[in-house]
Amino acid sequence: MTSRSSHGNCGFGSTLCMQGQGVVKGYAIGRAAIMSAAALEVVHYRIAEQDVEAECERLKKALATASGELQAMAVSLPDDAPRELGPLLTVHSLLLDDAALLQETCDLIINRHYNAEWALTTQGQLLAEQFSVMEDEYLRERGADIRQVIERVLRVLSGSTALLPSLEAGDAGDSLIVVARDISPADMLKLRGARFAAFLTDLGGPTSHTAIVARSMNVPAVVGLGHIRMLVRDGDILIADGFTGAVLVNPSELVLQEYRQRQAAYAGDRAELALLRDAPAVTLDGIQIKLEANIELPEEAVAALQAGADGIGLFRSEFLFMGRRDLPSEEEQYQAYASVVRTMAGRPVTIRTLDLGADKTLDGDVTVATNPALGLRAIRYCLANPELFATQLRALLRASLHGHVRILIPMISHMHEVRATKQAIEAACESLEASGVPFARNISLGAMVEIPAMAIAIEPFADALDFLSIGTNDLIQYTLAIDRGDSEVADLYDPMHPAVLRLIAHTINSAERAGIPVAVCGEIAGDSRVTRMLLGLGLTEFSMHPQQMLDVKKEVRLAHSNALRVKVASALNRAERIDLAALSN
Ligand code: PEP
Ligand code: MG
């Protein structure tokens, strides 16, 4: 992976400026608190033959202690801990319990007479290198998990537990900015007791845990800074810009003033946006817009509700199936779906059936399709695995007793897939009935529009289904023949391409004619820069990450929907690119 990190003066005179990737928006000004990194201070020495066994035992104990600590943390999380932490801590403790890690590290102690710390860092480097050459960005970043758990064991071996020695030394009242090589989920848990102004790390990318957890804590974060931990000292004054990824070290008073102003203006904007939480999402010409939330785990329903969501527009159920060695049972799935339905208290909850394949696979699934994005994924996978599909459908039907559940089928391209899904639902109803298990009948069935073939020939689908949801992430990928995960062609991934917009417009118009609701649940629904364009296409239902909802609502309330429809239709008729600036009032 190429590194984007650099350092220089960034146009701020003599101020040292480092460039990373801003992964959580916001500005922070504070003093650096450098996090200890046991891996950087490892001692290397040789073990005498007669001490080899004892050294292996020392390693074994340290692995068990570190794993035990992680498990204990996972089961006693405070109520307000970020929801991602539990699963992440469990994954980390499983990594440490892996018999191969102990065995292969002991082999280094036995064969090369390395001390435990040296053997462990050597083994860790080997594993991290194996991850670093993986094609998938998500998997590549999982090498960070290995480094983080090894760091934890090294701390146990050294007997040191303090993460931030400067914390105690800092002047009371100063905001502290954590500067680290990397921050593991367990470290995040330890750090969250105190309020930090920002997190800055040498390593990591947008899907690293530091980014995920910082996002859920709403703390600005810049990752992938390269060598900030080496270049900055405890107590240095830092400015972190979570928008641009710039970090300024010991800036002048003038630069500090500039950033204090930006910080205040941003805080003002956020406070103003917060006032919109209970305001209706209605355009200037009185069109009521539905704003719903995309979630991946049941716990996120609370954030959706807090953001004022009208419902759940997309629950990506596959996340219940990933990162584990077994399949979730019907009862486990039922509990998960029912908890979301109860939280949403009567609002619609749209649960997408398993969308596995392409970039999302079951653990231990080693089948590699020739082209996973075009292979046995999503509904194709479910219809090919009827038992697994039936289990999910039964859980969904049972959960619908508690409120308003809608079933959403991903990756439909043929009408016979709709018919087969209906038959599978009917069979699930019969099997529940036969065993006397209560469930609700007449559940709404909808499909994701993410394959161009379906969008072009949408009419029979709109007649056969109760609702549609346009998955623009995949629709763009398949329309433009651009792998959405391939950074080499990322510049060609263009949501504004007239062909993409025509497919969206055609789908919306056909749904309107068939009298069924249609939403957009791909990433563009949460991008407030294109809200007006989507309104202009006639969209009235948007589903997005809860954090994006207020920005989109603000745009909705400033827009004149019918005027936008005229402008957008005339550009689309000519297959012209839409000029977003021309859509503002
Ligand atoms: C989409 O394709 O737009 C979508 C919402 O589904 P996912 O991102 O999970 O593929
Ligand atoms: Mg999709």
Q: Which of 296, 322, 521 to mutate to test the pocket of ligand 1 (most atoms within 8 A of CB)?
A: 521
* Ligand 1 touching residue 151 (CB < 6 A): no
Helices (H) and strands (E) in the chain, counts: 23, 17
**pLDDT higher than threshold 50 for residue 172:** no
Percent of the chain with pLDDT over 70: 89
521 CA closest ligand 1 atom index:
5
Residue 242 parent element (H or E): none
The residue among 221 and 207 whose pLDDT is bigger is 221
Q: Could you give the residue numbers annotated as active site?
A: 209, 521
pLDDT at 501 over 90: yes
Q: Which tokens belong to 200?
A: 């800055």
CA of 74 to the centre of ligand 2 (A): 31
Check if the beta carbon of residue 568 is closer than 8 Å to that of residue 558. Answer: no
Which amino acid residue places its CA nearest to atom 3 of ligand 1? Answer: 471
pLDDT score of 137 = 67
Q: Write the secondary structure of 187-224 as one string of H (helix), E (strand) and C (coil).
A: HHHHHCCCCCCEEEECCCCCCCHHHHHHHHHCCCEEEC
What is the pLDDT, as a whole number, of residue 3?
Answer: 40
For the cut 50, the answer to whether the pLDDT of residue 194 exceeds it is: yes
Query: Cβ of 43: how many Cβ atoms within 10 Å?
Result: 9
| pLDDT number for residue 161 | 67
61-64, long-range: CB < 8 A, 24+ apart: 62/116, 62/153, 62/156, 62/157, 63/96, 63/97, 63/101, 63/102, 63/153
- Does residue 355 line the site of ligand 1, with CB under 6 A? yes
> How confident is the model over 489-513, as a mean pLDDT?
93
14 vs 414, higher pLDDT: 414
Torsion 434-341-463-416 (CA) sign: negative
CA of 355 to the centre of ligand 1 (A): 9
Of the spans 158-167, 206-215, 389-398, which averages the highest pLDDT? 389-398
What is residue 114's DSSP assignment? B
Question: Could you say which DSSP state residue 487 is in?
Answer: G
For residue 474 and ligand 1, the question of a CB distance below 6 A is answered with yes
Point out the ligand 1 atom lying closest to the alpha carbon of residue 522. Answer: 3
Please give the torsion angle defined by the CA atoms of residues 490, 1, 238 and 216, in that order, rounded to the nearest 10 degrees. Answer: 60
Average pLDDT on 411-431 reads: 98
Tokens in use for 63? 């692995």
Question: Is residue 286 scored above 70 in pLDDT?
Answer: yes
Residue 251 has pLDDT above 90, yes or no: yes
| Closest C-alpha residue for ligand 1 atom 7 | 473
Closest CA to 350 of 458, 459, 455, 466: 466
Please, which pLDDT band fits residue 191 given cuts at 50, 70 and 90? confident
The average pLDDT across 149-161 equals 83
For residue 166, what is the enclosing H or E element?
helix 165-169
Compute the distance between CA of residue 584 and CA of residue 372 in angstroms, rounded to an integer: 40
pLDDT band at 1 (very low <50, low <70, confident <90, very high): very low
495 lines ligand 1 (CB under 6 A): no
Q: How far is residue 128's CA from residue 116's CA, in Å, rounded to a whole number? A: 18
Confidence of residue 131 (pLDDT cuts 50, 70, 90): confident
Q: pLDDT tens across 32-61, in order?
A: 999 877 766 777 888 899 999 999 999 999
Cα–ligand 1 centroid distance for 411 (angstroms):
9
Bin 521: left if φ > 0, else alpha if -120 < ψ < 50, else beta: alpha
pLDDT digits (tens, 9 = 90+) for 296-342: 889 889 989 999 999 999 999 988 887 677 899 999 999 999 999 99
Looking at residue 170, what is its pLDDT?
45
Atom of ligand 1 nearest to the CA of 355: 9
Is any atom of ligand 1 closer than 6 Å to the C-beta of 522? Answer: yes
Q: Is the CB of 471 under 6 A from ligand 1?
A: yes
Tell whether ligand 1 has an atom less than 6 A from the beta carbon of residue 318.
no
- The amino acid at 237: I
Helix, strand, coil percentages for the chain (3-state, nearest 5): 50, 15, 35
Give the chain's end-to-end CA distance (angstroms, integer). Answer: 42
Give the global pTM.
0.69
What number of residues does the chain have? Answer: 585
Which residue, by CA, sits nearest to atom 4 of ligand 1?
471
What is the Å distance from ligand 2's center to 271 Cα?
33
pLDDT (mean) for 179-190: 82
pLDDT category of residue 193 using cuts at 50, 70 and 90? low
